Amino acid sequence: MISHSVEEYLEAIYYFNEKRELAKTTDLAKRLNVSPPSVTQMIKRLADEGLVKHQPYKGTALTGAGVAHAQKVVRKHRLLERFFHDILGMAKEKVHNEACRMEHSLSDEAAIALCRTLDNPATCPDDSMTLPACTLDVADCEECLTERPEASTFLLTELSHLKPGERGKVAFIRAGTNAYQRLLDMGLTKGTVVEVINAAPFHGPLELSLRGATLALGRGLAARVFVEVLNGDLEMPPTHPHGPYHSK
């Protein structure tokens, strides 16, 4: 189970990566209010755990597993900001700090309930950043309301976030009819293990290996494919849907 401090680092790195920037040590130190040596030490730990890849003198990017962990906490943070602003009427400049206090303890179940109550907000109120994608296996919000699915216990993210050498198992596809059929025709069916061979930085296409063949896939389509992140030959440890303080 990852700690709150690790989540804070992953969240901070995600902030820079979503702007198509590598997270530099000095920028992370400033954002997290810690010393640069502390950042360097934590980045090494995160790299050893397979959550980030660090390029000396350039910066740090999240791996697929790192993105999946970061998206969970970032989504909760931005949902909480919306709740404090839209429901409780708090000022925009105050919601960030309030969300920081609660994001780590908010259960997945509560985050789903918040999203439904807030009618699936697209952005947070203070800086209009986009909420990470919902990882429920539903086609749309209407299906979520009627079917009431539970949060997955696996580590999920979009295929577009995997880096070269990383693998994922297709969990579901969320796309329109034509795109859905196209992805199925490519072999991206549920349960298929996919490895990223090459990836153009941030927005370029992916080169994939699956079922003994290779194919090129644009990031837009890859973002429609949600995968269970795999670590080598092992699945990432599942997390409890009600949060880190519950037994499995």
Among 102, 124, 147, residue at a domain's last position: 147
The domain that holds 125 is classified in CATH as 1.10.10.10
Among 113, 147, 181, residue at a domain's last position: 147
The domain that holds 164 is classified in CATH as 2.30.30.90
What pLDDT, on a 0 to 100 scale, did the predictor assign at position 136? Answer: 95
CA pair distance 28, 34, nearest whole angstrom: 8
pLDDT tens readout for residues 129-141? 999 999 999 999 9
Asked if the structure places residue 243 within a domain, the reply is: no
What pLDDT, on a 0 to 100 scale, did the predictor assign at position 17? Answer: 95
- The ranges of the chain with pLDDT < 50 are 232-248
CA pair distance 7, 240, nearest whole angstrom: 16
Among 21, 38, 62, residue at a domain's last position: 62
Are 89 and 53 members of one domain? no
Residue whose pair of structure tokens reads 């079922």 in the numeric block:
211
189 to 80, 101, 142, 159: CA distances (angstroms): 34, 40, 24, 13
Q: What is the pTM of this model?
A: 0.88
112 lies in which domain range?
67-147
Query: Which residue type is seen at 189?
Result: T
What pLDDT, on a 0 to 100 scale, did the predictor assign at position 245? Answer: 33
CA pair distance 231, 166, nearest whole angstrom: 7
Asked if the structure places residue 56 within a domain, the reply is: yes
What pLDDT, on a 0 to 100 scale, did the predictor assign at position 200? Answer: 82
What pLDDT, on a 0 to 100 scale, did the predictor assign at position 202? Answer: 62
What pLDDT, on a 0 to 100 scale, did the predictor assign at position 240? Answer: 40
What pLDDT, on a 0 to 100 scale, did the predictor assign at position 152? Answer: 86
Residue whose pair of structure tokens reads 């309930």 in the numeric block:
113
What pLDDT, on a 0 to 100 scale, did the predictor assign at position 231? Answer: 72
Asked if the structure places residue 114 within a domain, the reply is: yes
